[in-house]
DNA sequence: GTCTATACAGAGATAGAC
DNA sequence: GTCTATCTCTGTATAGAC
C-alpha cells in the first residue's frame, strides 16, 4: 500500500468518524501513520485530499452495487435494495462522509465539487433503475425518475445527520419511509384496470 | 438591542451564510459590531452561543407557523403549507443553519443538543397535524405520523445541503416530492369504497 | 458590561536536509 | 519520497484596565 493510498483511506475514515471539524492534515497523517507534510506533497492541500478521497469512496461504492441495481425487476425489489444499500453504506461510513462534505461545501469550492460529483454518481445510478421501472406503474408520467432519484439521495444525507443527534428518531423515520414505499409498490400491483382508475383520478385532482 | 441579542442574531446569520467552518468568535463579534471577548463573557464558548442562537431561531420560526398548522384541514392543504414553509425557512436561512448544526453535532455535544432540540420542535409540530389528518386516509394504520414527521424534517435538511452543491438538482427533487405528495393526497380523495379496496390490497401485499 | 492585550493551541503550508 | 523544522495565521479563551 503506497503512502498515497494510505492517506486516501485515512482521510475517508477521519471524515466519516470525526467529521469535517475533526479532520486536519495532522489528524489524517497520524491516522495513516505518515508524516504531515506528505499531505501537501501528494495532494497540495487538505481539501484536495478530501476531494480525492470522496471520489474514490463513491466510485468504489457505486461499482459494488452496479450488478444488484441491474438485477432489480420491480419497485418492491428496488425498495428492498435501497434499504440494504442505505444500511450498508451507513455502516461503511460513506453516508456520514457525504454529509460532512456537503456541509463543508458551503464554504469550500473544492469540497463542493466533490459533493456534486458524488451526488451525480449516485443519482444517475438510481435514476437509471427508476427510468426502467416507473413506466407502467401508477405514477408513470406523474413522477420524474431523475427528480425522485435526487430526492432519495438527498434525503438520505439528511437522515444520516438526523441519526447523529437522535438515532432512534432517524430509525423510525426510515421505517416509515419503508412503509410508504411499500404502499406505492403495492399500488403498483393492483392490476391494469384499477391502475387506470387510480391514475385517472389522480390526474383529475392534480390537473 | 442589547449586546447579547446582537450576538445571537449575528451567530445565526453567520451560521446560515458562511457555515460552521466560517464561524468563529471573531467572525460573529465582527458581524455584530462588538468585541470578540464578549462572546465568552455572555455565553462562555462559541458552541454555547451557537446553541442559544439555534434555539432562538427555531422557537421563533415554529411559533410563526403555529396558526397556519392549526388551520390545515386536509393532506392537500398540508402539502401546500409544507412547500411554503420550506421555501420561507430556506430564504430565512433557517434550513441552512440546521444543516450546519447537525453536521457539527458529530463532534460537538453542545451542537448535538441544539440539533436534537430543533428537530424535536419541528417534528412534534408536524406530527400533531399528521396525527389529526392521517386517520381516515388510505394510509391509516400503515404510516406512523411521528415517523413521517421525522422523515420530512430530516429529509429537508439533506435537500438543503444538496442545494448547496447543485441548486437545480435539489429543485427538481423538491418538485418530484410535491408530485408524489399530490398523488397521495389524491388517493386520499378516492371515496370510501375505493379507499377500502386499496387499503385492503396494500395490507395483503405488505403482510 | 465593555474594552485592550495577550497567552496558547492548532491549523495550513513551505524550505531544505536526507 | 520522506522527514524535520519552522513560518504564519487564526482560533479559543482569559486577565485586567476602564
Q: Which residue shows C-alpha cell 459494488?
A: A64
Maximal C-alpha separation, chain A: 68
**Does the pLDDT of residue A190 top 80, yes or no?**
no
Instruction: Report how far residue B78's alpha carbon sits from residue B125's, in angstroms, rounded to the nearest whole number.
Output: 12
| Residue among B202, B62, B192 nearest A183 (CA) | B202
The alpha-carbon gap from B149 to the nearest alpha carbon of chain A, in Å, equals 8
Burial class (CB in 10 A: 0-12, 13-18, 19+), A65: middle
Instruction: Report how far residue B98's alpha carbon sits from residue A112's, in angstroms, rounded to the nearest whole number.
Output: 18
Residues 6+ apart with CB under 8 A from B75: B133, B137, B181, B184, B185, B188
Position B207 scores a pLDDT of 61
**Å: B113 CA to D10 C1':** 27
Q: Which nucleotide is nearest to B36 (CA to C1')?
A: C3
The alpha-carbon gap from B68 to the nearest alpha carbon of chain A, in Å, equals 23
The three-class DSSP label of residue A179 is helix
Instruction: Report how far residue B155's alpha carbon sits from residue A153's, in angstroms, rounded to the nearest whole number.
Output: 10
Question: Which helix (H) or strand (E) element contains residue B157?
Answer: helix B145-165
- Percent of chain A having pLDDT more than 70? 99
Q: Which of residues 23-62 of A touch strand C (CB under 7 A)?
A: 23-27, 36-37, 40, 44-47
Is the pTM above the cut of 0.75? yes
Least CB-CB distance to B206: which of A100, A103, A182?
A182
Contact: A173, B154; criterion CB under 8 Å: yes
Instruction: Report how far residue A100's alpha carbon sits from residue A109's, in angstroms, rounded to the nearest whole number.
Output: 14
Q: pLDDT band for position B85 (50/70/90)?
A: very high
Are the C-beta atoms of residues B15 and B101 closer than 8 Å to each other? yes
Residue closest to sugar C1' of D13 by CA:
B40
Position A157 scores a pLDDT of 98
Contact: A159, B148; criterion CB under 8 Å: no
Helix intervals (H) in A19-144:
25-32, 37-43, 46-71, 75-92, 94-104, 109-133
Contact: B173, A150; criterion CB under 8 Å: yes
CA A180 vs CA A76, A173, B139, B186, B206: distances in Å = 11, 11, 8, 15, 11
Q: Which residue of A has its CA nearest to B112?
A: A165
Instruction: Report how far residue B111's alpha carbon sits from residue B157's, in angstroms, rounded to the nearest whole number.
Output: 15
The three-class DSSP label of residue B203 is helix
Instruction: Report how far residue B57's alpha carbon sits from residue B65's, in angstroms, rounded to the nearest whole number.
Output: 13
Q: Which residues of A110-121 are buried (b: 16+ CB within 10 A; e: fewer)?
A: bbbbbbbbbbbb
pLDDT in tens, A83-135: 999 999 999 999 999 999 999 999 999 999 999 999 999 999 999 999 999 99
Instruction: Report how far residue A50's alpha carbon sits from residue A83's, in angstroms, rounded to the nearest whole number.
Output: 27
Q: Is the pLDDT higher at B183 or at A176?
A: A176
* A93 φ/ψ sector (left φ>0, alpha ψ -120 to 50, else beta): left
Are the C-beta atoms of residues B57 and B26 closer than 8 Å to each other? no
Cell of B73: 384541514
Q: Which residue of B has its CA nearest to A188?
A: B202
Q: How many CB pairs under 8 A join A and B?
A: 241
pLDDT in tens, B145-186: 999 999 999 999 999 999 999 999 999 999 999 999 888 888
Q: DSSP label at A138?
A: T
**Å: B47 CA to D8 C1':** 26
Least CB-CB distance to B139: which of A139, A153, A183?
A183
Question: To 10 degrees, the CA torsion angle through B124, B109, B58, A102?
Answer: -100
**Does the pLDDT of residue A23 top 70, yes or no?**
yes
Position A207 scores a pLDDT of 61
- Percent of chain B having pLDDT more than 90? 83
Instruction: Report how far residue A199's alpha carbon sits from residue A40's, in angstroms, rounded to the nearest whole number.
Output: 58
**Does the pLDDT of residue B193 top 90, yes or no?**
no
Amino acid at each position: 500500500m503506497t503512502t498515497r493510498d494510505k492517506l486516501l483511506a485515512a482521510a475517508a475514515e477521519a471524515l466519516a468518524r470525526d467529521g469535517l471539524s475533526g479532520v486536519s492534515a495532522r489528524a489524517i497523517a497520524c491516522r495513516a501513520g505518515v508524516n504531515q507534510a506528505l499531505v501537501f506533497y501528494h495532494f497540495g492541500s487538505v481539501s484536495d485530499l478530501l476531494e480525492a478521497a470522496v471520489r474514490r469512496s463513491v466510485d468504489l461504492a457505486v461499482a459494488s452495487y452496479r450488478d444488484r441495481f441491474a438485477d432489480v425487476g420491480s419497485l418492491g425489489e428496488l425498495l428492498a435494495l435501497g434499504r440494504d444499500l442505505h444500511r450498508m453504506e451507513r455502516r461503511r461510513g460513506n453516508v456520514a462522509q457525504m454529509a460532512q462534505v456537503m456541509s463543508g461545501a458551503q464554504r469550500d469550492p473544492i469540497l463542493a465539487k466533490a459533493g456534486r460529483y458524488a451526488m451525480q454518481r449516485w443519482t444517475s445510478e438510481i435514476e437509471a433503475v427508476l427510468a426502467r421501472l416507473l413506466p407502467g406503474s401508477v405514477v408513470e408520467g406523474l413522477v420524474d425518475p431523475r427528480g425522485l432519484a435526487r430526492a432519495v439521495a438527498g434525503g438520505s444525507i439528511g437522515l444520516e445527520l438526523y441519526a447523529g443527534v437522535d438515532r432512534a428518531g432517524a430509525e423510525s423515520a426510515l421505517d416509515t419511509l419503508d412503509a410508504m414505499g411499500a404502499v406505492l409498490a403495492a399500488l403498483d400491483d393492483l392490476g391494469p384496470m384499477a391502475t387506470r382508475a387510480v391514475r385517472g383520478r389522480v390526474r383529475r385532482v392534480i390537473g
